[in-house]
Chains A and B, each alone.
Chain A
Amino acid sequence: MKKEITFILNQEEVKAEVQPEWTLLYFLREVLGLTGTKEGCGYGECGACTVIVDGKAINSCLYPILEVEGKSVTTIEGIISRDGELHDLQKSFIEHGAVQCGFCTPGMIMSAKALIDEKEKPTVDEIRHTIAGNLCRCTGYVKIIDAIKSVVDRR
């Protein structure tokens, strides 16, 4: 049984027919073709699917699509400015060597973004804590933490 939902996705209104059992991740990737959000586990343990819903970072693989009704969702595709300029976090990840295979990267950046949107000057401990739910097998996290910290420091 399809249902209609309306929500804001990357600053644009979306109206769509959805199946109630879909997750937000499924909808983004399979229906809208927004494949920047990754699936690393599908059950809330890796953070690769992190997107921001009403200012909070969530695991979209566990998030029922019906729950986005009336909310605002931001994905990795939505943080670039309209003229194509990268978000500070994206630039910083590139400059600091925080990306290797890159599979964790969109989720990492979205977790970090939710943190720095909420807090002007998070501490390194807060940064680590925030991304503790985002697994990365390649980088050892050091350069990811540095990349986020440098955005915070430049504020």
Chain B
Amino acid sequence: MDNFPVVGQRIPKRDAPQKVTGSAIYIQDLKIPGMLYGKILYSKYPHARILAIDTSRAEQLPGVKAVITGYNIPPFKFGFFKDNPPLKSGKVLSMRDEVAAVAATSPEIAEEALEMIQVEYEELPGIFDPIQAMQEGAPILHEGLKSNVLKLPWRLICGDVDTAKKESHCIVEDTFSTQWVTHCCLGTSGCVASFDINNNLTMYSNTQIPYLAQRDYIDALNVFGIKNRKVRVIQCIIGGGFGSKLDTYAYEYIAILLALKTRKPVKVLFTREEEFIATSPRQSTITKISHGCTKEGKLLFREMEMILDNGAYTSWGATTPSVMMMPISSLYKVPNVKYIAKCVYTNNTYSQAMRGYGNPQATFAIESSLDQLAEKMGMDSYELRLINANEPGEITPQNFKVTSCGMKECIEEVAKRIDWKGKRGKDKGRGVGMASLIHVGGGARVYKSDGCGTIIKIDDYGKVDVFTGASEIGQGSETVIAQIVAEVLGVNVEDVNVINNDTDVCPWDVGVHASRTTFVAGNSALGAAKKIKEQILEIASKSIGEAPEHLDIQKGLIFSTKDKEKNTPLGKVLRNAHYSTGGKMLMAEYFYDPANENFDKDFKGNLSVSYAYGTHGVEVEVDRDTGRVTILKYIAAHDVGRAINPMMLEGQIYGGGLMGIGYALSENMNFREGRLMNPNFLDYKMLTAKDVPPVEPVIVETNDKDGPFGAKGIGEPGLVPTAPAIANAIYDAVGIRIKDLPITPEKILKALKEKEKRGQSGEEGK
């Protein structure tokens, strides 16, 4: 692959200087003159009827400017199914249900006012287990529905699983489950809603989807009686996203309602406890899975049935099965596939997107089951994976067209670096395991568009402004875009300024999701940069006296590729363009929408232009007395197409990896009867600097033909195969398979005891 001066370099993150000096402004730091503070009163019960709300005392409190409830706001519902009102009336369905809200001159007064609101409830029996919620006679949560099972058609059939079962030489079947986990963004959620005198709304927000949020707010305003007004979304620096900000939430509508009522800007900012309770996490799942293969170990079928706890309302969590279909149909070559998923209403919180979007849950089941299959076959699971690994040029059963694919390299790199042959099955108490992943790496057409716009202009001095629709949520999109533009235009990366946080200024984009930003926004920036370069060379050709095709730019100097003496500084050309009669302004726009496909009605189609692959290998030690798992070595190999910025890419792998290890070993939202028992960092076990194992990222470059400079997405993959790789290593170490995340010491001790009771007979592959 070619080497470039800017692309492929370890360029420091553009916004790092303001972040290390404390000058970056987060929503936490934003104050607007006259701003009020909104606070929300949540339900006392997971399922209850609201009999009465008395807000009169709260309204009397000095400093309180407005109190609203579900009974005095216009009827409006938001979310994927439009089943969620910002303030509830009639019934509450979860502990996070918003019952009333206050705007006051200080957060303390608003808090005090909440305590003065009297709500009378009649408690109703709750349903907290999706399996129970599916049973006949279970109370129906949403009035007017016949069942707690969501009307969503998650069903994928490829080939003929029944016949494949008959033809299989070896079959395994088992059930796996995963827990609720949450994003834990260090910066909590919040927004400021502000109306101007003409009722145009400005939302200062943390959103990952500024343009879709804009539409959501406009829909809401229409219902609130504010028609045809402008909504502007401005993002502050965002203190972490990970999918949590992929939907709009009740608090945002509450801020809008309070701002409307008080005619003042209103800020709602979550406390840490609220962040745990009232943002929407990755849901729990129960998966029955079966795999079968030929005598040689070629996979013949994969069958999965899944139940997902949707929680009380419907957000993007309910659509994660569409993404789960990707590993289910296309992780390794498997010709016959059947997958059915049900999302079920319960009185728990409600689920949304979180890094990986369903892929971690599905891959945990798939990759654990594959190890079981290998054992039953008497095969090395590494060999089984290699035999079935995806390859370039393949069309998968779900009609994914695989372009670049470095899966085999990833598997081999991991085996080599973890010393698979030397360690697998050898040491008592120590073991190695691996697991692979597929993820969308070239955008994902989940909406009608997967597009992103870019506008570029250059000033009189050769400094470049890039206006992109793509949001920066800490992942580094701003820097990647600057690098791509600098590379194309032949300017220093420091001279490229990226503007990315204002819907009034920036062009459209569908949002930061599906690991799409480097690929889609990158290609968009690439297109715009090429366009403006053409214009520059066109103009320069006259003053230099050389045809545009023989001109290029390097380090801000336009020169003839035939005779480098013939040159002129970029800034000069631009000044000439501006100051000449019949002058010209240099500006280019480009909209890139990848040639990927929406699924058809059978959920088939080429969802992404390219796919990202990876394999993680892990060596663990299991302490038989305490049940503690220590990770001795962690190899994370990722096919990224090309690393535009290896340093930031490693950051995604390290960060994703550790989040994945937390998912595997410690993180768990502990709900008891719908009540979150651990809404704080002490009891919710996010990993710390002391828990970091030796991680070795391995970057495999396959130079994707459609990626900007060959790059594919990497935002989510880092945590996808982590849990099964660890579970597989634990099995290798002590012969127990934990099928229920997280893999806590208690579960390990219990399984070790059971194993002892059963004697030494192998457990795998019933």
B680 is an interface residue with CB less than 8 A from chain A: yes
Instruction: Identify which of residues 1-60 in chain B touch chain A, using a CB-to-CB cut-off of 8 Å.
Output: 10, 12-13, 15-26, 28-29
B186 is an interface residue with CB less than 8 A from chain A: yes
Asked if A80 and B21 sit within 8 Å, CB to CB, the answer is yes
Q: Which of B412-420, B471-479, B507-515, B567-575 contacts A (4 or more CB under 8 A)?
A: B471-479
Asked if B240 and A135 sit within 8 Å, CB to CB, the answer is no
The closest CB in chain A to the CB of B660 belongs to A140
The closest CB in chain B to the CB of A35 belongs to B29
- Interface centre among A76, A99, A104, by most chain B C-beta atoms within 10 angstroms, is A99
The closest CB in chain B to the CB of A130 belongs to B689
Asked if B28 and A41 sit within 8 Å, CB to CB, the answer is no
Asked if B680 and A43 sit within 8 Å, CB to CB, the answer is yes
Instruction: Identify which of residues 114-151 in chain A touch chain B, using a CB-to-CB cut-off of 8 Å.
Output: 127-129, 131-145
Asked if B21 and A36 sit within 8 Å, CB to CB, the answer is yes
A101 touching B187 in the complex, CB below 8 Å, given contacts A41-B680, A138-B474 = yes
B659 is an interface residue with CB less than 8 A from chain A: yes
Q: Which of B167-175, B456-464, B650-658 contacts A (4 or more CB under 8 A)?
A: B650-658
Asked if B680 and A97 sit within 8 Å, CB to CB, the answer is no
Q: What per-residue 1/0 map shows which CB atoms of B181-214 lie under 8 Å from chain A? A: 0011111100000000000000000000000000
A76 touching B12 in the complex, CB below 8 Å, given contacts A101-B238, A141-B658 = no
Question: Closest Cβ of chain A: how far from B587's Cβ, in Å?
Answer: 31
B505 is an interface residue with CB less than 8 A from chain A: no
Asked if B26 and A140 sit within 8 Å, CB to CB, the answer is no
Asked if A35 and B689 sit within 8 Å, CB to CB, the answer is no
Cα separation A75 to B648 with both chains bound (whole Å): 27
Q: Which of A1-9, A65-73, A87-95 contacts B (4 or more CB under 8 A)?
A: A87-95
A16 is an interface residue with CB less than 8 A from chain B: no
Question: Closest Cβ of chain B: how far from A55's Cβ, in Å?
Answer: 20
B688 is an interface residue with CB less than 8 A from chain A: yes
Asked if A45 and B681 sit within 8 Å, CB to CB, the answer is yes
B239 is an interface residue with CB less than 8 A from chain A: yes
Question: Closest Cβ of chain B: how far from A41's Cβ, in Å?
Answer: 4
Asked if B475 and A145 sit within 8 Å, CB to CB, the answer is no
The closest CB in chain A to the CB of B237 belongs to A102
Residues of A within 8 A of B22 (CB): 34-37, 75-77, 106
A57 is an interface residue with CB less than 8 A from chain B: no
Residues of A within 8 A of B28 (CB): 35, 38-39
A48 is an interface residue with CB less than 8 A from chain B: yes
Asked if A105 and B187 sit within 8 Å, CB to CB, the answer is no
B631 is an interface residue with CB less than 8 A from chain A: no
Q: Indicate which residue in B19, B24, B688 contacts A135 across the interface (CB closer than 8 Å).
A: B688
Residues of A within 8 A of B659 (CB): 137, 140
Asked if B10 and A42 sit within 8 Å, CB to CB, the answer is no
A64 is an interface residue with CB less than 8 A from chain B: no
B242 is an interface residue with CB less than 8 A from chain A: yes
Residues of B within 8 A of A131 (CB): 689
A137 touching B184 in the complex, CB below 8 Å, given contacts A99-B20, A106-B22 = yes
- Interface centre among B186, B655, B686, by most chain A C-beta atoms within 10 angstroms, is B186
The closest CB in chain B to the CB of A147 belongs to B20
Residues of A within 8 A of B18 (CB): 102
A46 is an interface residue with CB less than 8 A from chain B: yes
Cα separation A46 to B185 with both chains bound (whole Å): 11
- Interface centre among B10, B240, B473, B476, by most chain A C-beta atoms within 10 angstroms, is B240
A104 touching B186 in the complex, CB below 8 Å, given contacts A141-B692, A143-B651 = yes
Question: Closest Cβ of chain A: how far from B380's Cβ, in Å?
Answer: 30
Residues of A within 8 A of B222 (CB): none
Cα separation A139 to B648 with both chains bound (whole Å): 10
Asked if B186 and A48 sit within 8 Å, CB to CB, the answer is yes
Question: Closest Cβ of chain A: how far from B517's Cβ, in Å?
Answer: 14
Asked if B15 and A102 sit within 8 Å, CB to CB, the answer is yes
B271 is an interface residue with CB less than 8 A from chain A: yes
Cα separation A35 to B349 with both chains bound (whole Å): 32
Cα separation A77 to B22 with both chains bound (whole Å): 7
The closest CB in chain A to the CB of B692 belongs to A141
The closest CB in chain B to the CB of A90 belongs to B20
Asked if B473 and A101 sit within 8 Å, CB to CB, the answer is yes
Residues of B within 8 A of A106 (CB): 19-20, 22
A105 touching B19 in the complex, CB below 8 Å, given contacts A39-B28, A46-B681, A97-B651 = yes
Asked if B186 and A94 sit within 8 Å, CB to CB, the answer is no
Cα separation A29 to B656 with both chains bound (whole Å): 31
Q: Indicate which residue in B13, B655, B681 contacts A140 across the interface (CB closer than 8 Å).
A: B655
Asked if A142 and B692 sit within 8 Å, CB to CB, the answer is yes
Residues of A within 8 A of B682 (CB): 45
A109 is an interface residue with CB less than 8 A from chain B: yes
Residues of A within 8 A of B651 (CB): 97, 100, 138-140, 143
Residues of B within 8 A of A128 (CB): 689-690, 692
Residues of B within 8 A of A80 (CB): 21
Cα separation A97 to B20 with both chains bound (whole Å): 11
Question: Closest Cβ of chain A: how far from B266's Cβ, in Å?
Answer: 17
Residues of B within 8 A of A103 (CB): 26, 185-187, 239-240
A14 is an interface residue with CB less than 8 A from chain B: no
- Interface centre among B15, B21, B271, B272, by most chain A C-beta atoms within 10 angstroms, is B21
Cα separation A43 to B183 with both chains bound (whole Å): 19
Residues of A within 8 A of B557 (CB): none
Residues of B within 8 A of A96 (CB): 647
Residues of A within 8 A of B654 (CB): 139-143
Residues of B within 8 A of A94 (CB): 12-13, 16-17, 20
The closest CB in chain B to the CB of A78 belongs to B22
Q: List 8 A-B contacts (CB under 8 A).
A: A77-B21, A94-B16, A101-B239, A109-B20, A137-B655, A139-B651, A140-B658, A145-B692
Closest 9 CB pairs of A and B: A36-B22, A101-B474, A102-B19, A140-B654, A140-B658, A103-B239, A76-B22, A45-B681, A35-B29
User: What residues make up the interface of A, taking CB atoms closer than 8 Å to B?
Assistant: 29, 34-43, 45-46, 48, 75-77, 80, 86, 89-90, 93-97, 99-106, 109, 127-129, 131-145
User: What residues make up the interface of B, taking CB atoms closer than 8 Å to A?
Assistant: 10, 12-13, 15-26, 28-29, 183-188, 237-242, 271-272, 473-476, 647-648, 650-651, 653-659, 680-682, 686, 688-690, 692, 695
